[in-house]
Structure 1
């Protein structure tokens, strides 16, 4: 087998076994037993188009949803199945998992599914893997837990560069990781503040907005929320402050020009008016 630290390695070299298929009518209990017997984290569902059921689906779509063990897998499977060519390099699979926020990926060879790889397979390939850092980011309970984020990210950039990736590919991966960090910080802020009073979007500018970040830069972000109200202004001011401070704790310095959500936090109508004035 080629060297395991080569990101140009064809992803099919990570396969350990043929794919395991079940019929759509098989119960989740039977599917779970098949997964246990094969020591795997997913099974494919023979349907048109095919689907997949993972251990995460069993937790999130069955147990958490209050469904019983007799539930057919066809009811809870995910499809269309996410795939990548078996001869594609490992980095292509890594990009697909990061971009689609998935943990299992089917490999296709001449139109036939030849196996499934998981994020764990890639983690074993790369000790300093972007997937490992993303998994860490997704499970933090406080920003302080990621005090080493900037150091770990720099180590990952070095690994990717030594693996032969170019600046564009590295920037895309780093931006995906930073996006995952922001999503987690927003989620933690919402947990503390309660549900948002109106839909909102956190946006980023500059190198992160262009997917060009290679190392941590200062913050360039803003917040857009739906209907304006006193409650909305209070809520999103607090949310913006928590997320910005969380980013500072993880190594993102504040923008010296003040282009952050602590100052640029407006309703959609206010943003539209602002852009209309700028365009005139």
Structure 2
């Protein structure tokens, strides 16, 4: 049986080039398994792959993850000499595809432990597996590039009419509304501006977050006065049919950060902010870095983190290499982490203590991808004159707040 197995395998790559001793090692350890027509040989629901399959006779249909029994899926077929589950075996995970017997199938099956031993024994087989994995990675990158390129083509552009740029219904108040109520509404809705409209829903003014500081806080103005006393009158408006370019031009010409979209009757239909246009143009590295460095709240950092992700997806669609993308993501994620630490230092008294925040795992290796969790720690010096227990509690409270803010910004806690 061993000789018959060797003779059959030598008709197919990579076994035709495999060292004689290694080929015999393989033939002595495989078992021949039979699968009737339609039988499920391997699938993700079977758990972590524990066997290398080599088709001895028959044909095996491959159904990709999320695929159906369509003609396209059915056309992916493996014949005698074909190997499958190499990627799942090497990653020690479940198979991402389902393998089904198209007719009566016989497979040589090699246990995972012997599979890994064979990769150590045989240079030929090791190279074959490495090239196989590299091929899978190339296919995955091509599929992702196609997916994100299609998504990018569907996304809004600067030629989009304002009706498409507006993402939510406008929030407005009447001119007699007290300032206190307006500020509370802006805070609860996370709004950067509030539009003031008349009884016909036509804009008569706008009040922004910067106005809160300049017109309320610094002058010590009353919060009980009507919003019309402190709003900016005659806000810039554009018809819904105008495009994002028109809005950008209006902002540049009039030095404003918001343009109001109105219908044919002049009624408010939406607000277009400078940030909305920033997203359409595609955030660049310099702009994102500046936004992170100057962020004064976790909400701003949360938006910046999403900009990092979107820019990375754009880079992937444009064919930028995986190593460059992971370094780019890791660098900007480090910047976000550093800014979160700085913001939390304002609320924690660690003055006079020598300490450092440590990043482990993929962040420490500059290998972060689109989704990553937290893996960090703190090292500090506790001198003889310091209360060791109290110092530890201070750092634990500080670390907890930083971890929670990182979680809010898209870095989930490590589980």
The two structures have a TM-score, normalised by structure 2, of: 0.30
Structure with greater proportional strand content: 2
Larger-gyration structure (1/2):
2
TM-score (normalizing by structure 1)? 0.44
